[in-house]
Structure 1
Amino acid sequence: MRKLLLASAATIGAAGFTAAHAQPATPMPATTMPVTESQGMIATQPAASPPAGANNNNNTTAAATPGPVANPTPGSVVVHINGRVFTGLYASWGSLDSVHGVAGGTAAGAQFKINPLHVATYARLYTGVDGMATNGLRYGGAIEIRENFTGQTSNSGSSAASGYTSSETLFVRRAFAYVASDTAGILRAGQGDGLISLYDNGVTTFQFLPSGNLNGGDVEVMTPGNTQIPFAFVAVAGNEYGTNRLVYMSPQFYGFDAGVQWAPSTTNGYAVQSPTFFTVVPGCPTAAPGCDTLSSSTNALDGSRSINQTAVGLRYQGKFGDIGLLAYGVYEFSGHAKYDGPFIPAGSVAALATSGGTGRFDNLSAKNAGVAVTFAGITVGGNYMGGAVNGQLALKPTGGANMNAYLLGAKYVTGPLTVGIVGERIFSQGAPQLVGITQRQEYGFDGGASYLLAPGLVGWAEYTYQHRYQGGFNFATGTAAPAAVAGAYNNVQSQIFAVGATVYW
């Protein structure tokens, strides 16, 4: 869902809580707003543009840059607390809005239907600290908190709205610390973005609206999940930044900077603990299914786990007269957990019966590249992701097809108005059960506009279309069968239109 603050919006001065309490390198302009502090409340100027999230202008490059969070001075720290609330009216239609014979609808003519109209609200909180020692060393940490949602249980005695809201919980999406030096680079550790997200930051993948556009955006998720295309380009996607890892990025030399990252697994090491510690469920009291750091298992699906996920990359940022250029490339690779169960032949009944297929997966070997050119407010560009990878950083089943994914986009920014379009085309193996039988094809389109109505208030409108196909795979049930006997729900689509507003502080 809606993503980081995009690079195109990261040039506004410090505001909000930061403006009231930070010690910027250059004194802030005087404000005429009266300060009326009472019971912890502080009056400040509203943000002129979306403020920083967990990632900000102090913790994403070797050298701190001007931006929405004040740069710390020697011997000082900058504490910031930011938030945003998304609201919108949505209308969605798709192939899985009305299905027969699924989840109990087996009687003649029985079916489940979904209301195409939605009013939705989504909240996020960001907090962090950025400091500088007297010797110039920068350091800090950041936390991003988001909102969870659940399904609804019918209640004949009430609307069930009260019970539903109590099931909405908060969770930690990002949590990382960093140390940095203008001359030595920046090292980040924790649950946070890797090179692809930090290099791209939504620019070459055209995440220019508050929703995030095609990247699992707030508009996209208004349809049943199996009609949604996983964002194969992974920049600012949860399966990329949700990994606990180490990331190093060098200082910039003549516009170039290099980086490397490493993660032993894709989860949090604390999850190894038993349920009696940190309330981990199911926990890992002994090596068994459910352990987050498994390197060997008798379960076929466990063979799809990445281990020792590593990436190296190079980025260029520069200007040629009035033309701005961003270009980068990242190679990401990993090992995988070993499947130690019985041999499962490809295409067999046993392979079709489990989402892990044969249990045999190849090491990750993915190549990602992006480029964006900006002139006179117009940005055009694209992104590529391909190699031995399947969907959103998933391992490719052995014998399956390599992935090739392409994205093209354009946007125009003038004053408070942003308008743009983006499209994607993805070819991949898809379901591991169908190796050697069929492959998956997906494409999507998104277009829309946003307008800065007032400081900290953005209005937007957006349209998204997505299409998914794989012979022999039922997107309604998530099961596979030989293409000759399975044709139901193997070709699905969805479209969504939305208007809304986002408030930032």
Structure 2
Amino acid sequence: MRKLLLASAASMGALLAATSGAMAQPAKPVAPGTVAVHLNGYLQFAIGDVGGNGMTGGSGATAYKLSPVGTIGDVRLYPGIDGMTDNGIAYGAQVELRTTTSNATGKGVNNASTNTTAGVNSIYVRRAYGYIGTTEFGYVRFGQTDGAFTLLQRGVIEAFGDGAQWTAEGAPVNLLPSGAPGQFIYADQGALYTTDKLVYISPALAEPMLDGKFSAVISFEPNSNGIKEGYANLGSIYGAQASSIAGGSATRRRNTFDGMVNYGVNLGGFATQVSGGYLASSPLGNIGAAQAYSSMGVFQAGAQTTYGGLTVGANLKSGSVEDGYAFKPRGARNALAYTVGAVYAVGPYSVGASYFNSQTSGGWSATNGDARTLSEYGFATGANYAVAKPVSLFVEYMYGHKHQPAAATKGNGQAQVVAAGATIKW
């Protein structure tokens, strides 16, 4: 008879080592003929002081100024199962639930969670996927999940402060009213992982010369639907979008393929990971009409190494793409971005910093008079103290800048935030 086990927080700790919860396979394999059921979670709270563009608005009697001090938080739940058949085939499912926004009425109640008529402000599904496979032949994932470009991204250092920096996956950056740079150097962003796809994760293949290991991930995304979208929606206003390109076509991908190869080796105490790969996608288009967007094609290369408690890394991405992995207009320049970062951990303490620089076509079009290049950069630094294994206190500072002159403006934007907070994972 199959046993039903409740996984401990310790056995799943590696699953939630990052805020994304991207990994599907359990940190501790379950025994054959058993199923482990887990309900993990993540809570983050921060208070910060922000500055930059967008702090004032209106005019005359309707003019206003935003308070620079604010609080923000995030709650996520990770229900799932991990199982193994008697003959050694692993399988499982993982769901990531998040909160959106609460009301600002001062009642202390999130109407989105308690009122069925509260509209889109609710607990929602961010990821939902299953997997099946073995360590010898690899694993297949299916559902709303991370693809190759995300899973084998190397050199993007985020394991300090709130753990997310400019990806909008953490708390402090979401305090900024406007002016924050929007960039594509982070592949661990919702524009890529919130769509349905098939993913193959290869087994690790030994390399005898340096005793390293090769691995690969390939994924296919037929369209930009999530897990509960598709043909059944054709009778609704949303389904009408499935057969037209009205609105949002710059961000609606089709036939997206991405593949990444990773090489890992440990030499002289340096644990090093190097990866590279490519993502390709096609835009939607009307039959008989000129295509407004270029096809997407993005190259990625990254490397990181750890010695003792120090990890350093760098990552480069370039190609036909816009911020948020949207399609660029025809005739626009290609994008180029890089990031460098480092984090040092000793005992319960850690400190880190990262910098990115990005050039895309931004708001350019052939007729609007904007400069051809949107230049963006961002810096982040932070420190953490682990009170206990599940609890981390952090401080963080972030500064971002963007520049794209327009016909009548200089096109400068900047934003900064200094924040302190806590993250609890279980």
Paired AA for residue 235 in structure 2: P
CA contact (8 A) 1:47 1:456 kept: no
Picking from 47, 64, 83, the partner of 1:131 is 83
CA contact (8 A) 2:299 2:319 kept: yes
1:388 corresponds to? 320
CA contact (8 A) 1:219 1:498 kept: yes
Q: CA deviation at 1:221?
A: 1.2
Picking from 174, 180, 203, the partner of 1:228 is 180
Deviations 1:69-124 (A, max 9, x none): x311111111111112111211111111113xxxxx3x447523211111223211
Paired AA for residue 159 in structure 2: F
- Pick closer, same or farther for the CA change 1:292–1:233 going to 2, 3 Å: farther
SS at match of 1:149: coil
Q: CA deviation at 1:273?
A: 5.2
1:81 corresponds to? 39
Picking from 196, 199, 205, the partner of 1:247 is 199
Picking from 427, 440, 450, the partner of 2:374 is 440
Q: CA deviation at 1:252?
A: 0.8
Q: CA deviation at 1:411?
A: 1.0
1:271 corresponds to? 229
Paired AA for residue 226 in structure 2: N
Q: Establish whether residue 504 from structure 1 lines up as the match of residue 425 from structure 2.
A: yes
Q: CA deviation at 1:413?
A: 1.1
Mapping for residues 54-453 of structure 1, pairs under 5 Å: 55=21, 59-60=24-25, 67=27, 70-99=28-57, 105=58, 107-108=59-60, 110-149=62-101, 152=104, 159=106, 161-162=108-109, 168-200=121-153, 204-209=155-160, 210-216=162-168, 217-224=170-177, 226-254=178-206, 255-268=213-226, 270-272=228-230, 283-285=233-235, 291-294=240-243, 296-297=244-245, 299=246, 301-302=248-249, 304-339=251-286, 360-433=292-365, 437-438=370-371, 439-453=373-387
TM-score (norm 2): 0.87
CA contact (8 A) 1:52 1:82 kept: no
Q: CA deviation at 1:269?
A: 6.0
1:354 corresponds to? none
**In structure 1, C-alpha distance between the alignment counterparts of 2:110 and 2:348, rounded to whole Å:** 40
CA contact (8 A) 1:251 1:257 kept: yes
- Pick closer, same or farther for the CA change 1:116–1:437 going to 2, 3 Å: closer
SS at match of 1:234: coil
Paired AA for residue 397 in structure 2: Y
CA contact (8 A) 2:205 2:214 kept: yes
Deviations 1:97-155 (A, max 9, x none): 113xxxxx3x4475232111112232110011111111111111100000011674xx7
1:52 corresponds to? 15
Q: Which runs of 5+ in 2 are unaligned?
A: 207-212
**In structure 1, C-alpha distance between the alignment counterparts of 2:203 and 2:251, rounded to whole Å:** 35
Max Rg structure? 1
CA contact (8 A) 2:363 2:370 kept: no
Q: CA deviation at 1:327?
A: 0.9
Deviations 1:48-72 (A, max 9, x none): 9955248476x35xxx6xx3xx311
2:389 corresponds to? 455
1:4 corresponds to? none
CA contact (8 A) 1:369 1:385 kept: yes
CA contact (8 A) 2:332 2:365 kept: no
Q: CA deviation at 1:304?
A: 4.9
CA contact (8 A) 2:96 2:125 kept: yes
**In structure 1, C-alpha distance between the alignment counterparts of 2:415 and 2:90, rounded to whole Å:** 46
- Pick closer, same or farther for the CA change 1:47–1:115 going to 2, 3 Å: farther
1:492 corresponds to? 413
**In structure 2, C-alpha distance between the alignment counterparts of 1:161 and 1:342, rounded to whole Å:** 52
**In structure 1, C-alpha distance between the alignment counterparts of 2:109 and 2:238, rounded to whole Å:** 36
Paired AA for residue 487 in structure 1: T
Higher strand share goes to which structure? 2
**In structure 1, C-alpha distance between the alignment counterparts of 2:256 and 2:240, rounded to whole Å:** 17
**In structure 2, C-alpha distance between the alignment counterparts of 1:340 and 1:56, rounded to whole Å:** 38
- Pick closer, same or farther for the CA change 1:121–1:211 going to 2, 3 Å: same
RMSD of aligned residue pairs (Cα, Å): 2.7
**In structure 2, C-alpha distance between the alignment counterparts of 1:262 and 1:316, rounded to whole Å:** 22
Paired AA for residue 204 in structure 1: G
Q: CA deviation at 1:368?
A: 1.1
CA contact (8 A) 2:250 2:328 kept: no
SS at match of 2:152: helix
Paired AA for residue 15 in structure 2: A
- Pick closer, same or farther for the CA change 1:140–1:502 going to 2, 3 Å: same
CA contact (8 A) 1:377 1:413 kept: yes
Paired AA for residue 126 in structure 1: Y
**In structure 2, C-alpha distance between the alignment counterparts of 1:77 and 1:206, rounded to whole Å:** 34
TM-score (norm 1): 0.74
Q: Which runs of 5+ in 1 are unaligned?
A: 1-18, 23-43, 100-104, 275-282, 344-358, 473-482
Deviations 1:313-362 (A, max 9, x none): 1111221130010111120001111146977xxxxxxxxxxxxxxx6001
Aligned pair count reads 404
Q: CA deviation at 1:433?
A: 3.5
Paired AA for residue 229 in structure 2: A
SS at match of 1:293: helix
1:279 corresponds to? none
Paired AA for residue 234 in structure 2: C
- Pick closer, same or farther for the CA change 1:237–1:303 going to 2, 3 Å: closer
**In structure 1, C-alpha distance between the alignment counterparts of 2:110 and 2:87, rounded to whole Å:** 53
CA contact (8 A) 1:97 1:114 kept: yes
Paired AA for residue 272 in structure 2: L
CA contact (8 A) 1:271 1:292 kept: no
2:210 corresponds to? none
Paired AA for residue 207 in structure 1: E
CA contact (8 A) 1:233 1:392 kept: no
